[in-house]
Amino acid sequence: MTSTTVAPDTDRKTRRTDKPEASDRARAENSLGMKLVAPAIFLMLLVTAFPMLRALYLSLYNYSLTAPEERDFVGIDNYVTALTDSLFWRDTLNTVLIMVVTVAVELVIGFVFAMVMHRVIFARGVIRTSILIPYGIITVVSGFAWQFAFSNNNGFVNGWLPLIGDDFNWFGQYGSSIVAIMVSEIWKTTPFMSLLLLAGLAQVSEDMLEAAKVDGATWWQRLWKVILPNMRSAIMVAVLFRALDAYRIFDNIFVMTAGANGTESVSFLTYRQVIEQFQLGIGSALSVLLFLSVLLIAFLIVKIFRVDLAAARQEG
């Protein structure tokens, strides 16, 4: 006992006494390291922090690019304008709807794809490639492809769906327009979700699954009690990445409806203020709000999954 208690003590002492000796070299290395990464850090700050701070600064002004001399400092008025405008909230709700529906559907389909890619024995390469192809297509191109597919003139969707008339105009009203946008989004990014989930599936121990099987667990029980709890971190990463991505949706809306029938997202609203209307002040305020929303979503998702983790541990 004594020897065991003394030994770590000596160890600790040794470490403590060693530290100053090693620290000179470590400090020199740290210093060199700092000098070496300094240009990269400076460059990163320049390309990321500068535009963000600039947007924050511009958001405090009523400023149009075409009337530079009429620039007024308005403080937080732009934020008040945005947050009290029904258009902002309509677009926010729209974006949240797209995010929730597409991420939920992609999680389910993506998981099925991941299982297929994980378990498939024959033609593995071909099957994995086929599943991943949509992700390799540029979003604008897939947006156009789906727009043509849903077109009531030359699209195939109306012909394939039994309860839909051949002349049904998908882009004529809100409900069907938003469905078309979401279908395009889901088709395009489900493979990304399945890739992340596949990485998680690979981490689930085969021994545990085997043990569960020996204990008489059904397939369903193995899925809920072994596979999913062990994939929690992978699922969180997949949901987090896709949710943030979905909240910034722009390309599909731009191509398919250009925001018509109230299908505009917050990114699209920001784009219109800055690029179309040249209103740098209110546009910057919207960019900052978009950034804060993304941070909030990231925070909430991490928080929710942590709660789940704790709950799972208690259950276990």
Partner 1 sequence: MASLATAALASSLLAACGGGDGTPQLNWYVNPDGVDTFRTYADECSTDDYDIAVQQLPASATDQRTQLARRLAAKDSSTDIMNLDPVFVAEFANAGWLQEVPEEVASKITDGGDYLEGAADTVTWDDTVFAIPLWANTQVLWYRKSLADAAGLDMSQPVTWDQVIDAAAQEGGTVGVQANRYEAYVVWINALVQGAGGDIVSDTEAGRDAKVDLDSEAGRDAAAVIKKLADSDARQADFTVSNEGTSLGQMFPADGPGEFMTNWTFVYANYKGLVGKPGGPADEQEFEDLGWARYPQTVQGETSKPPIGGIDIGVGAYSEHPDWAMEAAQCITSTKAQVDLAINDGLMPSTNSAYDEVASSGEFPEDLLELYRTSVDEGGPRPKSPFYSQISSAVQSVWHSPTSVDPDSTPKESARFLADVLAGKRLL
Residues that bind partner 1 (CB under 8 A): 62, 64-68, 70, 74, 77-78, 81-82, 85, 87-88, 260, 269, 272-273, 275-279, 281-282
Q: Closest distance between partner 1 and the C-beta of residue 30, in Å?
A: 39
Q: How far is the CB of 288 from partner 1 (least distance, A)?
A: 15
Between 71 and 225, name the residue whose CB sits nearer to partner 1. 71
Beta strand extents in the chain (DSSP E only):
61-62, 72-73
Least Å distance, CB 60 to partner 1, is: 12
Cα distance between residue 112 and residue 107, in whole Å: 9
What is the smallest separation between the CB atom of 73 and partner 1, expressed in angstroms?
A: 12
Nearer to partner 1, 241 or 291 (CB): 291
The nearest distance, CB 151 to partner 1, in angstroms, is 15
The residue among 69 and 207 lying less far from partner 1, judged by its C-beta, is 69
Q: Which is nearer to partner 1, 87 or 100 (CB)?
A: 87
Q: Which is nearer to partner 1, 273 or 287 (CB)?
A: 273
Q: Which is nearer to partner 1, 192 or 271 (CB)?
A: 271
CB of 316 to partner 1, least distance (A): 49
Measured CA to CA, the distance from residue 314 to residue 316 in angstroms comes to 5
| 3 Cβ contact list (under 8 Å, min separation 6) | none
Q: Which residue has 């498939």 as its token pair? A: 120
Q: Are 180 and 171 in contact (CB under 8 A)?
A: yes
Output Rg (C-alpha) for the chain, integer angstroms. 26
Say if residues 185 and 267 touch (Cβ distance below 8 Å): no
SS3 assignment, position 279: strand
User: What does DSSP assign to residue 64?
Assistant: B
CA–CA separation, 290 and 247 (whole Å): 9
In the block, residue with structure tokens 């279908």: 183
